[in-house]
Structure 1
């Protein structure tokens, strides 16, 4: 397989949310011809003004692109985009490359690969981590499952949108790796929020505390990137509460087939589902602080 280059690779991109729009923009800036589809065309307007092409359905994206990247919300969205009547797999060209970058089910990734093979095409599951900032800066972590040769072929495209790009194994391995990421983040978010509450209760200045602890043993992406947002009262989404709940549910479903109990994940999931019940599903994941900080005033959230 020859590596894919901007001058011969029309890329289809489906899904222009908080992260997807920035990922698509970085590909456009790198010189790739971009065919876009998202359910709400208005979300695509700025990219269309920058030179991207609008396609009216996933079917049109598939029929006009050599490689199709999807970055949608939920596994049922992935199912519809790939397997629906106007879905990708019913309209792809032979020898197309399909890359699902949604955080989704490992079993669904395997299902997509099997169907792609029937169509003489290739697929990868390649979920990402890094939030809105990583997407804008082209510095996402990309966890890839599928055939190694296919991974190496599309690596130039991954390098446009990410910096930590790791091949994890066969189909589904990228999604399993993302579950590891989300499990680690789930408990970490509780620790970050509790640390900030403790600092406040102790009469410390949280920003000054952060200067000391973010580079030590407690250091993490969440502490460095999300704690400052919490301190500044910024609860806008770099990653939605509702999507984090979806990810934790996928992980918990997988864990049912394994011989262990993820108590930290279960606790974090219960907190975030409480936020969703209070109408905060479209807030950023750092909104967890509001529950950790004052559980007696949840009605004020």
Structure 2
């Protein structure tokens, strides 16, 4: 069993299996979550409870957050009972949420001023990747600090990439989400077109999966999409949030994002039509609304 105590804040659809994997790897974990049910499950797996983010940081050498958005991370880190009030000399803070790159740079500076070290380490791979410990982890921050925490990160992911200084992990994650959302939208558009043209949807998927059009969404979500199965592996509302982060960052850095802008509007439509809790591949429903017909297999 590792003697390095780890704090874990955010035991949601991604954080819960990640924390479970760390516990099973022998790490001592102290957890905090705003809602009580996931925390009880965490305790059932062997974790210890803390009453606040500050209390987590006071008891841990490494503090990990996996939260919903930039505001949530700021509150957990900089709030009145936040992580900053509890970290000690050389505490490492690892944020595995997907948040603004510029906000991350500000947080890293605040953590350094408090005597700690920060890595931004957003993740890709969805719920299944979190369960299997096969996430892709994009790291921003000091490479020596990354090396010091590889024993922790290796439990959570099988592709760990140092992308640059603080904020670079979040920039890389924004690039990831731009591509993932574009895939889901393109597959949706193709399937709705195939439906309107009278093609066999299963045959279309099989035919184009073996060529240049092959992509993760086509291989892992297309069959579910034409079944109308949108059980979430990654919430559409989170994709909407991530695209907003990417669009805002594009504006800040002067990068043109015409396709991302359109994709962002489609996910906004998902949110506004009450589909934010569907899987992100459920964006096909917005295209179906526009076509007036569902793309479903017989």
Same-fold call, TM cutoff 0.5: yes
Q: Give 5+ residue unaligned stretches, structure 2.
A: 294-298
Report how many aligned residue pairs link the two structures: 293
Equivalent position of 2:59 in the other structure = 64
Q: Does 1:110 align with 2:83?
A: no
SS in structure 2 at match of 1:281: coil
- Selected match of 1:250 from 245, 249, 264: 245
Distance, in Å, in 1 between the alignment partners of 2:98 and 2:153 is 16
SS in structure 2 at match of 1:16: coil
Distance, in Å, in 2 between the alignment partners of 1:241 and 1:150 is 33
Contact 1:10 1:33 in 2 (8 A): yes
Deviates more, 1:42-51 or 1:27-36: 42-51
SS in structure 1 at match of 2:94: strand
Equivalent position of 2:296 in the other structure = none
Distance, in Å, in 1 between the alignment partners of 2:57 and 2:41 is 22
Equivalent position of 1:194 in the other structure = 189
Equivalent position of 2:72 in the other structure = 77
Contact 1:271 1:291 in 2 (8 A): yes
SS in structure 2 at match of 1:256: helix
Q: What are the residue-to-residue correspondences of 1:272-291 with 2, within 5 Å?
A: 272-291=267-286
SS in structure 2 at match of 1:102: coil
Q: Give 5+ residue unaligned stretches, structure 1.
A: 1-5
Equivalent position of 1:3 in the other structure = none
Query: 1:135 Cα shift?
Result: 0.9
Equivalent position of 2:163 in the other structure = 168
SS in structure 1 at match of 2:19: helix
Q: Does 1:101 align with 2:104?
A: no
Query: 1:258 Cα shift?
Result: 3.2
Q: What are the residue-to-residue correspondences of 1:1-301 with 2, within 5 Å?
A: 6-295=1-290
Distance, in Å, in 2 between the alignment partners of 1:260 and 1:58 is 36
Deviates more, 1:223-232 or 1:242-251: 223-232
SS in structure 2 at match of 1:8: coil
Contact 2:236 2:267 in 1 (8 A): yes
SS in structure 2 at match of 1:187: helix
Distance, in Å, in 2 between the alignment partners of 1:155 and 1:214 is 35
Query: 1:189 Cα shift?
Result: 1.3
Distance, in Å, in 1 between the alignment partners of 2:159 and 2:270 is 31
Distance, in Å, in 1 between the alignment partners of 2:211 and 2:156 is 29
Distance, in Å, in 2 between the alignment partners of 1:86 and 1:164 is 33
Q: Deviations over 1:147-187 (max 9, x none)?
A: 01001111121111111110000000000001111111222
Query: 1:82 Cα shift?
Result: 0.4
Deviates more, 1:111-120 or 1:34-43: 111-120
Query: 1:70 Cα shift?
Result: 0.2
Contact 1:186 1:264 in 2 (8 A): no
Distance, in Å, in 1 between the alignment partners of 2:119 and 2:69 is 17
Distance, in Å, in 1 between the alignment partners of 2:87 and 2:292 is 52
TM (normalized to structure 2)? 0.93
Deviates more, 1:62-71 or 1:214-223: 214-223
Distance, in Å, in 2 between the alignment partners of 1:40 and 1:215 is 44
Contact 2:33 2:39 in 1 (8 A): yes
Query: 1:56 Cα shift?
Result: 1.2
